[in-house]
Structure 1
Amino acid sequence: MRHLKLTTRGVPGVGTFGELTEQGQKLCVTVERDWNNNLPNISCVPAGEYTLRPHVSPRYGDCLVIEAPSLGVTATGPSQRSHCLIHPANWPDQLEGCIAPGLEFHPDRWGVKSSRTAFKRLMETITEPVKLTIVRH
């Protein structure tokens, strides 16, 4: 199974920003909500080992979902967190506990640029389940 790593750094009160890599090669940068005690819809998900797989969301259509039942994160519940997706967005406040990819960080504001392009590339790359390790700093 392929293994991706998301290494992030939180900016308190702003958001969480990271880099998604595979074997040390950068796939994209990411933006998420700030850590808020793992509260649904307003916090990034906890660090840990996940499965990342293609998913069809009623709200976002084709996307990627992260799952780790041992961490209380499942695709559809029941669990502490569900529907934690990777989908296009540019700013932390556009996300409800999900992760958005970008080609680069926005130079003028806390966010990412070219999210749809980065998302399309990820969807072309991830066609079957992969392991995802999330590291929070």
Structure 2
Amino acid sequence: MELHLHRTYYKEGTNGVLFINDSFVGFCIELPWKDNLKRVSCIPEGVYQLKARYSDKFKHHLVLQNVSNRSLILIHPANDANKELQGCIAPVSSLTGIAKGLQSRIIFQKILSACFQAFDRKEKVTLTIKN
């Protein structure tokens, strides 16, 4: 299964449009591009494999594999990238501004469900990020 994130960069943050197998799913918010600096920048464009992950803080969520010079880049719910993210990606149902959105948990659950179904079918799940 393939997820595609098409980004638009702004000084204050990054907005994106997310597709699963070429079907529109929702939007994403991220930190601004700051040369891939840990905890303050979105990650570089590229293709990343997604894996299931669980933590007490986020419960079930997704983690991106092999991010250059970074670790624990997650896909998890958040509605304000600059207040709630440290380099991760947050899906949102609608955008309300640069790096801000609404109803993150609703769209996150749709993405998580689709990915977990693919994992159950033993499919490889990738996320392609591009401008």
TM class by shorter chain equals 0.7 to 0.9
User: Unaligned stretches of 5+ in structure 2?
Assistant: none
Residue 122 of structure 1, aligned match among 100, 111, 130: 111
Unaligned segments of structure 1, at least 5 residues: 73-79
TM-score (norm 1): 0.84
Which residue is 2:88 aligned to? 98
Q: CA deviation at 1:132?
A: 1.1
Distance 2:26 2:49 in 1: 18
Superposition deviation, residue 61 in structure 1: 2.1
Is 1:135 matched up with 2:130?
yes
State the partner residue of 1:35. 33
Please give the alpha-carbon distance, in whole angstroms, between the structure 2 residues aligned to 1:23 and 1:104: 20
Query: What's the offset of the Cα at 1:67?
Result: 1.1
The residue identity in structure 2 corresponding to 1:3 is E
- For residues 94-129 of structure 1, the C-alpha deviation after alignment (integer angstroms, 9 at most, x for no partner) is 1000000011112xx431111011111111111124
Q: What is the SS of the residue equivalent to 2:77?
A: coil
Aligned to 2:101: 112
Partner of 1:20: 18
Q: CA deviation at 1:60?
A: 1.8
TM-score in terms of structure 2 length? 0.87
Q: Percent identity?
A: 33
Q: d(CA) in 2 for partners of 1:123 and 1:16? A: 21
Describe the superposition over 1:3-44 as per-residue Cα deviations: whole angstroms up to 9, x where unpaired: 1111101111x1100011123211110000000110111100
Summarize the Cα distance change of 1:113–1:24 in structure 2 as closer, same or farther, 3 Å threshold.
same
Q: Any runs of at least 4 consecutive aligned residues in structure 1 with deviations exceeding 2 A, and if so which?
A: none
Which residue does the alignment assign to 1:6? 5
In the TM superposition, 1:68-107 aligns within 5 A as 68=66, 71-72=67-68, 80-93=69-82, 94-106=84-96
